[in-house]
Amino acid sequence: MAEGWMWIPYLLLMFGLFKKDALFILINFLLSTILTQVPKMLIWDNITRPMASGMDVNKIHHVDGIEMHL
């Protein structure tokens, strides 16, 4: 459900119901996306999370059958 085509109904709903605030919502969405994705893809692209965070491995929730990459 997180594919790109899912944005079409969202944008239609946003511009249909919230015409007055649509530009603000769109700018807010774009800014928050840029502020999260740019660092993840350009600055910390080689860091595997959460294992490389320095967090104690015993405090990380593990799911049976899922391999954690150290």
* Domains of the chain: total: 1
pLDDT digits (tens, 9 = 90+) for 12-50: 887 788 788 888 888 888 898 889 888 888 877 776 666
Q: Does some domain include residue 64?
A: no
Show the domain range for 11.
Answer: 4-59
Q: Does some domain include residue 66?
A: no
Any idea what DSSP says for residue 45? Answer: T
Does residue 56 or residue 2 have the better pLDDT?
56
Is the pLDDT score of 1 beyond 60?
A: no
The pLDDT assigned to 56 comes to 78
Report the alpha-carbon distance of residue 40 to residue 17 in Å, rounded.
33
Is the pLDDT score of 59 beyond 70?
A: yes
Query: Which residue shows structure tokens 């459900």?
Result: 1
Q: Does some domain include residue 37?
A: yes
The pLDDT assigned to 41 comes to 83
